[in-house]
Copies of this chain bind each other. A is one copy, B any other.
Amino acid sequence: MANEREVTIYDIARELNISATTVSRGLQDHPTISKKTKRKILDLAEQMGYRSNHFARSLRSQKTNTFGIIVPRLNSHFMSSIIAGIENAANEQGFSLLIAQSSESSVKEAASARTMFDSRVDGLLVSLAVDTTDLTHFDSFFKKNIPVIFFDRVQQHESSVNILIDNRQAAYNATRHLIEQDCRKILHITAPVVQNVYKDRLRGYREALSEHKIKFREDYVLITNLSQEAGAEAARTILQMKPMPDGIFVANDSCAVGCMLALKEQGIRIPQDIAFAGFNNDPVTKVIEPNLTTINYSGYEMGQVAARHLINHVRDVSFISSTNTIILRSELIVRASSLKKGSK
């Protein structure tokens, strides 16, 4: 039973005693077929479990109406918001999504790209793994002119479009805010600076320091995997430092929260002893006490923009080749965790 024969238009035609051509036209809402006949055909098709021949149609049109998505991991608030945004925009326009996670490994990223290439996706949306240093595993897409859009974690490529925020500017704003709150010993917690997002945030942090004549210290940059646990571990390192920093800018919120909780446990007062700023505006920023100052940018909107851009390209409405980079808005949201000035 499990391998039951597929229902064809011939089966429907036989059952209704009409021609297969009529059935085919009826299913495609052809104007020469009467409403009554169409209704009969559609009802029987539904009842018999007929499936439109998606594959055969794909072979003819070379389109699958499917996009591939590869993200570092699926279970982060930011990434799942992006995927929800992509799904919303794609679904509205009749596109389905094939989804894979690279688990932060470029090797797995390459394997997923290969699978999606073989599945003939009409386009690819990728946020790069933390260790991806080149884009050769996407060459098969570039060669075939299948559009590839990188979002958030991106690399430049002449044949693709990048969608991201101005990470340098956002990090500069967060760091400058800490300086304006009278912080002078500002530490930065980040990930290995291979990817643009971390490279640019480090750059913005350094620029703000240098502009305010604060010397950059190598030992004030902690490289972690940015998890909440890594934040707690960073706190242990920080507690050993002499002198301790008076401000910390963290490249994401969950790591900032892990660090804050661990420092608070040791009696460190936030923001009086150490002021904090994070990145992403995850919901947890409004649960932690004091609430966390952070950079707000909407993953959901980034996902929608990426999907709409890809859809327009596939439909030849816009031309991906003339667009190189799309920069989305971001903003500093100041909350109690950084308001050192005036607090005691």
Task: Report which A residues bind B (CB closer than 8 A).
Answer: 1-4, 6, 46, 49, 51-52, 54-56, 58-59, 62, 66, 73-77, 79-81, 83-84, 87-88, 91, 96-101, 103, 112, 115-120, 140, 143-145, 228, 254, 257, 261, 283-284, 286-289, 300
Contact = CB atoms under 8 A, between A and B. Distances in A.
Contacts of A66: 98, 119
Contacts of A4: 144-145
B59 A87 contact: no
A84 B79 CA distance: 11
A54 B55 CA distance: 10
Q: Which A-B residue pairs are the 4 nearest by beta carbons?
A: A80-B80, A75-B84, A74-B84, A75-B80
Nearest to A145: B2
A101 B75 contact: no
B74 A80 contact: yes
A46 B77 CA distance: 37
B54 A119 contact: yes
B58 A87 contact: no
Contacts of A59: 55-56
Nearest to A143: B49
Nearest to A90: B100
A80 B87 CA distance: 14
B77 A75 contact: yes
Given A77-B77, A96-B100, A140-B49, A257 B287 contact: yes
A115 B96 contact: yes
Given A87-B74, A98-B97, A51 B284 contact: no
Contact of A120 (B54, B91, B97, B284): B54
Contacts of A58: 55
21 contacts: A4-B144, A51-B117, A51-B120, A54-B120, A55-B120, A74-B80, A74-B83, A74-B84, A74-B87, A75-B83, A76-B80, A83-B99, A84-B101, A88-B103, A96-B100, A97-B98, A98-B99, A254-B283, A257-B287, A261-B287, A289-B289
